[in-house]
Amino acid sequence: MTEPAPAYQPAPAYSGAPATVPGKGLGIAALILSFFFQLIALILGIIALNQSKKAGAKNTPALVAIILSIVFGLGWIIGGIAFASVIGGVIAQCAELGSGTHVVDGVTYTCG
């Protein structure tokens, strides 16, 4: 005797769902914040990367957030230093020239 073919049974709804990576959401948040708040993004990116490493998973958004936070943070620091040196030069020039409007090498300084 032959046995009847087994009835079709659909696979469970969540059988092929990928496992979530710990720290992935935090890494994405750090990536977004790296454009605006570098220090916060750097801290969150490091936390997210450590969470993923403990789970043995890769977290590319966290790594990119760390790199971007460092690069943009250094850019802000370098830009701030350049701005401060320009302002310092103008203040020194005004201290030397005194109050009033002066033209030095084609540049007009209004001091006072």
- The pLDDT score that the predictor gives to residue 70 is 97
pLDDT band at 27 (very low <50, low <70, confident <90, very high): very high
Distance CA 33, CA 44 (A): 9
Banded pLDDT at 22 (limits 50, 70, 90): confident
CA dihedral (24, 29, 30, 35) in degrees, to 10, reads 140
The tokens 């007009």 sit on which residue?
108
pLDDT score recorded for residue 14 = 57
Bridge partners of 100?
111
pLDDT band at 15, cuts 50/70/90?
low
Residue 35 CA to residue 75 CA, distance in Å, equals: 12
Gap between the Cα atoms of 43 and 84, Å rounded: 27
Cα(22)–Cα(42) distance, rounded to whole angstroms? Answer: 17
What sign for the dihedral angle of Cα 61, 64, 70, 76? negative
What's the confidence (pLDDT) of residue 13?
59
Reported as a single tens digit per residue, the pLDDT across 59-104 is 999 999 999 999 999 999 999 999 999 999 999 999 998 999 999 8
Per-residue pLDDT band at 20 (split at 50, 70, 90)? confident
